[in-house]
Amino acid sequence: MEHAHFIFAGLGIVLGSTALAQEATHDVHQHGQQQQAPAMPAADAMPAMDMSRGMAMTGMYGPYPMAREASGTSWQPESSGMQGIHNMGEEWMTMLHGYVDAVYDHQGGPRGDSKAFSASMLMGMAQRQVGTDGTLGLRAMLSLDPAMGKTGYPLLFQTGETADGCTPLVDRQHPHDLFMELAATYSHRFAENRSAFVYIGLPGEPALGPPAFMHRLSGMDNPEAPISHHWLDSTHITYGVATLGTVWNRWKLEASAFNGREPDQYRWNIETRSFDSGSVRLSYNPTPNWALQVSYGRLAGPEQIEPNVSVRRTTASAIYDTEISSGRRQTTFAWGRNSNKSGNGPGNSTNAYLLESAYKWRDTHTVFGRAERVDKDELFLDPDPRHHQVYKVNKLSLGYVYDFARVQRNRMGVGAVVSAYATPSALDSVYGSHARSFMVFLRAKIE
């Protein structure tokens, strides 16, 4: 299975090149028609139609630029653009985006480990107009992360999910499933700036939390998953979700019913369970540079090994995106709170804070950073007396990527990220007093 990642990357590049050729053919056809058309207004009187930034395309969920849409039904700043290869056909508009990272990971200290692995994602979207005011959308996102093994990759202080159905993963990041999203959407416009929509996914992403970390420009170049993941956006792969929402200008209100159980250790299949959880989210983009959201959800038994423990999750986030000095910078601040409750009474209420930023300039250089402060209560397993004791973990990561080659919309880059931790002295005997970690990686990307 190790070679599967490279096959996956090659498939994405081939598909991307094909889509680009189709787009170019379509553009030539359009220009040929324009030669016979009446004179057009001057260029400075025309709105911008930069396809790479997605500003010429309407969103799946309402009458606004598609660049506003991120993972699931979440919103990002419109100025972020949409990375990927776009093709405007006669009836369907399509988009293809993906990446593959080859990573060497070293996590230091007594609980650390080292591993070489590959992480990948390929995402395709298609949409078309239905009647006068309707829009039909299809979304698919796949990953070959299961090939890295059920225990995923080493990541100090990361917790959540399981590798064998019995033992929690601690100090490791679980692999994503092969099927990250298979979803269909329909939206109907009622006025120039109002619409209603439905989103159904198996798997899909409910209306809970900010955009998933691999879809935020502020975080997508960092190969490490945030250790705050299970407080903010861990529901981005949910096996069964239905969302209803309404859009009014720059506001969006939506509610989801879904299966609250996180994916099990069988990463290659599709799971089915009845809906037992729900969430609601309010999003507001006051300007093209900002995306704000608050959300609340009740997750019934999200952890497979603790099915009787439910979680009430509250999140809030702000994303700011802007162009500066020949480049682009995006910053995300997010807060999440998990309140656990079981049949034996209330459990812990824990908080996570995340601040991450990325600065891209001259189309080849990216500097990124992430700071997190998380209340961790799963670092020790039962019957250890420290089981469910809360420890405040602080993490700071800094990284850099250099894109050394580009062929059409396909990039190759090399990068590194280093991380340092500040923890209570009570953890020194387990993690060491100065835990450090680093990753170096080679990346191929379609954008």
pLDDT recorded at residue 363: 84
Q: What is the Cα gyration radius of the chain?
A: 22
pLDDT recorded at residue 10: 41
pLDDT recorded at residue 346: 65
Q: How many CB atoms lie within 10 A of CB 91?
A: 8
pLDDT recorded at residue 84: 83
Contact 196, 190 (CB under 8 A): yes
Q: One-letter amino acid identity for 154?
A: P
Could you give the angle at the alpha carbon of 21 between the alpha carbons of 16 and 23, nearest 5°? 95
Q: One-letter amino acid identity for 370?
A: R
Q: Where residue 416 sits, what CATH number does that domain have?
A: 2.40.160.10
What is the tally of structural domains in the chain? 1
Which structural domain range is residue 237 located in? Answer: 4-446
pLDDT tens for the chain, 447 residues long, are 434 443 343 434 333 433 333 443 334 333 333 333 333 333 333 233 344 443 357 899 999 999 999 999 999 999 998 888 888 888 999 999 999 999 999 999 999 999 999 999 999 999 999 999 999 999 999 999 999 999 999 999 999 999 999 999 999 999 999 999 999 999 999 999 999 999 999 999 999 999 999 999 999 999 999 999 999 999 999 999 999 999 999 999 999 999 999 999 999 999 999 999 999 999 999 999 999 999 999 999 999 999 999 999 999 999 999 998 889 999 999 999 999 987 666 678 999 999 999 999 988 999 999 999 999 999 999 899 998 899 999 999 999 999 999 887 789 999 999 999 999 999 999 999 989 999 999 999 987
d(CA 282, CA 102): 37
Q: Quick one: which of 278, 284, 316, 324 has its CA closest to 298? A: 278
Q: Which residues of 129-141 are buried (b: 16+ CB within 10 A; e: fewer)?
A: eeeeeebbbbbeb
Phi, psi of 174, deg, nearest 5: -65, 150
> End-to-end CA distance of the chain, in Å?
26
Q: Quick one: which of 34, 93, 7, 26 has its CA closest to 58? A: 93
d(CA 155, CA 174): 10
423 contacts: CB under 8 Å, gap ≥ 6: 157, 391, 392, 393, 394, 431, 435
pLDDT recorded at residue 429: 94
pLDDT recorded at residue 32: 37
- SS3 of the chain: the string is CCCHHHHHHHHHHHHHHHHHHHHHHHHHHHHHHHCCCCCCCCHHHCCCCCHHHCCCCECCCCCCEHHHECCCCCECCHHHCCCCEEEECCCEEEEEEEEEEEEEEEECCCCCCEEEEEEEEEEEEEEEEECCCEEEEEEEEECCHHHHCCCCEEEEEEEEEECCCCCEEEEEECCCCCEEEEEEEEEEEEECCEEEEEEEECCECCCCCCCCHHHCCCCCCCCCCCCCHHHHCHHHCECCEEEEEEEECCEEEEEEEECCCCCCCCCCCCCCCCCCEEEEEEEECCCCCEEEEEEEEEECCCCCCCCCCEEEEEEEEEEEEEEECCEEEEEEEEEEEEEEEECCEEEEEEEEEEEEEEEEECCCEEEEEEEEEEEECCCCCCCCCCCCCCEEEEEEEEEEEEEEEEECCEEEEEEEEEEEEECCHHHHHHHCCCCEEEEEEEEEEEC
Q: Which tokens belong to 378?
A: 């799963």
